[in-house]
Amino acid sequence: MVATKWTQEEVASRLVRYADLRPCTTAFIDTHTPGSEQKENFTIIGPGVSENPDQHVHINIPHGFNIGAARQPAGCINSQHSHETAEVFVVHTGRWKFSLGETATDGDIEVGPGDTISIPIHVFRGFTNLGDGPGFLFAVLGEDDPGQVTWAPYVFEEAKEYGLMLLKDGRLVDTTKGEAVPPDGTPMPATTAEDVKQLRRMTADEIKECVVREVDLDETSAKVFGDDGLSESAIVGAENADEDMPAGKMSWPHGFHLRRWKFNPGYSTPWHRRDEAEVIMMHQGRLKYRWEDGELEMQAGDVLTAPIGLARQYVSGEDEAAIAYVVRGGDAPSQFTQAAK
């Protein structure tokens, strides 16, 4: 049962502003390796897959999925790895290359602001910021516990050379700081050639089917509130006939679904509520989140998780369109419920 009253402070604790994000620069085994040492990792909702126990989790409330982010300077590389659950990226800023395969040679694809890429589980992937300045990616990981990362064999070799060791339980040991394997720790065996054979290989043509370009999103849009003020576009998830919403291009099960909101300036949604988790990742413009007892304004880069079942209204700024990417829990999208303020 959702609380009938939410204070300003309680709802504000569910808003993570871009300016307040706390990065971890030693989240993974490759963070001393030249070319990868300047990347920043963020766990916004949920624990993510960080290998550093000191990683700051901004909102530690189970949602059935995790929200994270990566920020990297120009030319910075995230090394080849695979995941046990779905991993979806929404590009906020910068231009990025995603590379496939154990040694990043199976194919690649480039994406830019507003584009989305969903990489299937058990596929080696890595990504590089191709831009001239820092780039920022939102990331959505499936399940409350997304498990551990599987690194390509070369990542272990390079990490050892630069003083980092990964333990079986996911902890990192940094020998450059004088750390040693603790009594309760066992080093993680490096990924073997046989392990690599068990993973799926994808081509550049295949990964194209896992990318949605922002310029194409109007083709999968619906007017969920029945007017022209807001278009909602399917990206990840199944069809929802009740909302006249087609399936997203990435319609296979992820454990969550993802859509894009595009608001006209000054538009206000009707008051409504949702019975699943709803997380808003702001991409462009300003958006007010209103509930009976208060309101908060979101700006580009901010992330808000709306209380389940709480009556709400979203209002865009008067001077420009607002664009946000919305993650909701579950593979089967449900329709909103009308609500009075």
Domain match, 192 and 223 both: no
* Same domain as 198, residue 175: yes
C-beta of residue 269 within 8 angstroms of C-beta of residue 231: no
Q: Please state the separation of Cα 148 from the chain's center in Å.
A: 16
Structure tokens belonging to residue 153: 């064999």
Do 71 and 199 belong to one domain? yes
**Do 137 and 238 reside in the same domain of the chain?**
no
Q: How many CA atoms lie within 13 A of 335 on its CB side?
A: 14
Residues 79 and 161 in one domain: yes
Q: How many domains does the chain have?
A: 2
Give the CATH number of the domain where residue 171 resides.
Answer: 2.60.120.10
Question: Quick one: pLDDT band at residue 1, thresholds 50, 70, 90?
Answer: very low
196 within a domain of the structure (yes/no):
yes
Last residue of a domain, one of 187, 208, 229: 208
**Alpha helix positions (H), the chain:** 8-12, 153-161, 193-197, 204-208
Distance linking the first and last C-alpha atoms of the chain: 18
- Quick one: 28 and 176 in the same domain? yes
Query: Does residue 298 fall inside a structural domain?
Result: yes
pLDDT in tens, 137-169: 999 999 999 999 999 999 999 999 999 999 988
Are residues 236 and 203 located together in one domain of the fold? no
pLDDT digits (tens, 9 = 90+) for 108-134: 999 999 999 999 999 999 999 999 999
Task: Note whether 36 and 140 are same-domain residues.
Answer: yes
Give the per-residue pLDDT at 83. 97
Residues 242 and 261 in one domain: yes
Residue at a domain's end among 180, 208, 236: 208
What CA–CA distances, in Å, run from 228 to 223, 265, 268, 287? Answer: 7, 11, 11, 17
Q: pLDDT digit string (tens) for 42-95?
A: 999 999 999 888 899 999 999 999 999 999 999 999 999 999 999 999 999 999
285 vs 265: CA distance, rounded Å: 9
> Taking 70 as the threshold, does the pLDDT of residue 2 lie above it?
no
The tens digit of pLDDT for each residue in 253-306 reads 999 999 999 999 999 999 999 999 999 999 999 999 999 999 999 999 999 999
* CB-based contacts of 253, cutoff 8 Å, min separation 6: 331
- Rounded Cα distance between 317 and 128, Å, is 33
Domain assignment of residue 6, yes or no: no
Q: Which two tokens stand for residue 28?
A: 């993974």
Confidence at residue 202, expressed as pLDDT on a 0 to 100 scale: 97
Residues 189 and 276 in one domain: no
Containing structural domain, residue 332: 215-338
Are 174 and 283 within one domain? no
111-150 burial: b if 16+ Cβ within 10 Å, else e:
bbbbbbbbbbbebbbbbbbebeeebbbbbbbbbeebebbb
Same-domain status, 177 and 153? yes
Q: Are strands 125-129 and 96-100 parallel, antiparallel or unpaired?
A: antiparallel
Residue 218 reports pLDDT greater than 90: no
> With a threshold of 0.85, does the pTM exceed it?
yes
E strands in 183-285: 211-212, 221-222, 230-236, 256-263, 272-273, 278-284
Q: Kindly state whether residue 102 falls inside one of the protein's structural domains.
A: yes
Half-sphere exposure of 182 (CA within 13 A, CB side): 11
Q: Give the CA distances from residue 62 to residues 45, 195, 254, 266, 277, in Å, rounded to whole numbers and listed in that order.
A: 8, 31, 16, 33, 10
Domain boundary, last residue among 156, 186, 208: 208
